[in-house]
Amino acid sequence: MTDVKVNEDKRATLRLLDQLDVLSMKPRERKRVIRSMMGQTRTKSRRNTASQKTITGQKFTPRTKRSKSRRRMLMGLTKQLSTKLKNDHRGVVGWSHHVPAAIAKTHQDGATVECNSIENKMHTGHSPSYFRKPLTIKQARALKRYGFRRRIARKHGKAVWRRATTRWIKDNVTLGQAGLIQNALVHNGETRKPNRWKVKVPARPFLGATQEDADAYLTEMAETALQRIRKA
């Protein structure tokens, strides 16, 4: 007869026991713990960008030598992070709009993207300061003369497009956006095709949890389940 040896993985055994405890939790309790997990993940991601480190504690790959910007990367993205509870066993930490979500994915995983000068500044995270400057009254009036319209959403029915007021344009449109809009209006909706090139964006994984974090979350859920069982 052949002897068979079984090596016990204590860590895996503990995780299995924790999972069995979690299964006994009520849906309301699981939702509460999931909300806590999402909040911790969001907070840690913001700390990662503040310290310019990945989820494993490594420093972000620096910008190219050509860049003179000293601003910390991805800070604006993590400020927009939101949480959404899907059900009693799933929650999502991410972005409600597809644009910051796409930029975040590029930095999280790393990618080679084809872009123009403006898109390059969005992906690399160091757009010039003038792009974000507010418009003057004179500039807002000029954009209004070109026939700029804004989209107005309705609770019932389709959204409508109406001519924007000078005040609304000044308060809601930046100088960089105005340049793109004016270019499209002047050319009847067909913007001139700018030169495009490929930019390699290195991976800077700032969002997520390590295995240690996952184990801590699971332990927290198991402790919550045990407390309920003891009180019963």
How far is the CA of 135 from the CAs of 4, 83, 141, 182, 187, in angstroms? 76, 33, 10, 13, 21
Digits of tens for pLDDT over the chain (232 positions)? 333 333 344 455 445 455 555 666 778 888 888 888 888 889 999 999 999 999 999 999 888 766 666 788 888 888 889 999 988 888 899 988 887 888 888 889 998 877 655 555 555 544 455 567 888 888 888 888 888 888 888 777 778 888 889 999 889 888 878 877 777 776 665 545 556 677 788 999 999 888 787 777 777 766 766 676 666 5
Q: What pLDDT, on the 0 to 100 scale, is given for residue 30?
A: 80
Query: What is the spatial distance between Cα 82 and Cα 148, in angstroms, rounded to a whole number?
Result: 31
Query: What is the spatial distance between Cα 124 and Cα 74, in angstroms, rounded to a whole number?
Result: 9
pTM over 0.95: no
Q: Beta strands of the chain (E only): which ranges? A: 82-87, 90-94, 111-115, 149-152, 160-163, 197-201
Q: What pLDDT, on the 0 to 100 scale, is given for residue 230?
A: 64
44: three-class secondary structure by DSSP: helix
DSSP strand pairing (149-152 vs 111-115): unpaired
Rounded to 5°, angle at Cα 227 from 221 and 232: 130
Residue type, 95: W
